[in-house]
A and B are shown apart, each in its own frame.
Chain A
Amino acid sequence: MRSAFEHFDKAFENRIRLQIMSVLAANESYDFNSLKELLEVTDGNLASHLKGLEKEEYIQVNKSFLGRKPNTRYVATKKGLTAFTNHLQALENLIRSQQKG
Chain B
Amino acid sequence: MKENNLDKEITSIRQLMERSTKFISLSGLSGVMAGIYALIGAGISYQVVYAAFPGRYSYNPGDTESTEKVITRLLLVALGVVLFALVNGIWLTVRNAKKKGQRFWNPSSRSLMINMLIPLITGGLFILIMIFRSYFGLIAPACLIFYGLALINGSHFTVGDVKWLGICELVLGLFAALFPGYGLFFWAAGFGVLHIVYGIMMYYKYDR
Contact = CB atoms under 8 A, between A and B. Distances in A.
A91 B107 CA distance: 29
B107 A34 contact: yes
A88 B13 contact: yes
Contacts of A99: 3
B51 interface: no
Contacts of A92: 10
Interface residues of A, number: 20
Nearest to B22: A26
Contacts of A37: 103, 106
A35 B7 CA distance: 23
Contacts of B7: 95
A95 B106 contact: no
B16 interface: yes
Contacts of A11: none
A89 to B, nearest CB: 11
Contacts, number: 48
Interface string B7-31: 1011011001111110000000000
Interface string B56-91: 000000000000000000000000000000000000
Interface in A70-88: 88
Interface in A25-47: 25-27, 30-31, 34, 37-39
Contacts of B16: 19, 22-23, 26, 38-39
A31 B6 contact: no
The A interface is mostly helix, strand or loop, or mixed, namely: helix
Q: Among the interface residues B12, B18, B20, B106, which one has the most CB atoms of the partner chain A within 10 A?
A: B20
Interface size class of chain B, counting residues whose CB lies under 8 Å from the partner chain: 10 to 19
B20 A95 contact: no
Contacts of A94: 1, 6
A92 B107 CA distance: 29
B21 A22 contact: no
A95 B6 contact: yes
B20 to A, nearest CB: 4
Nearest to A29: B107
A23 B14 CA distance: 9
A44 to B, nearest CB: 21
21 contacts: A22-B13, A22-B20, A23-B20, A25-B17, A26-B18, A26-B21, A27-B20, A30-B20, A34-B107, A37-B103, A37-B106, A38-B16, A38-B19, A39-B16, A91-B6, A91-B10, A94-B1, A95-B10, A98-B3, A98-B6, A99-B3
The 8 closest A-B pairs by CB, nearest first: A26-B17, A23-B20, A22-B13, A98-B3, A22-B16, A26-B21, A22-B17, A95-B6
Interface of B: 1, 3, 6-7, 9-10, 12-13, 16-21, 103, 106-107
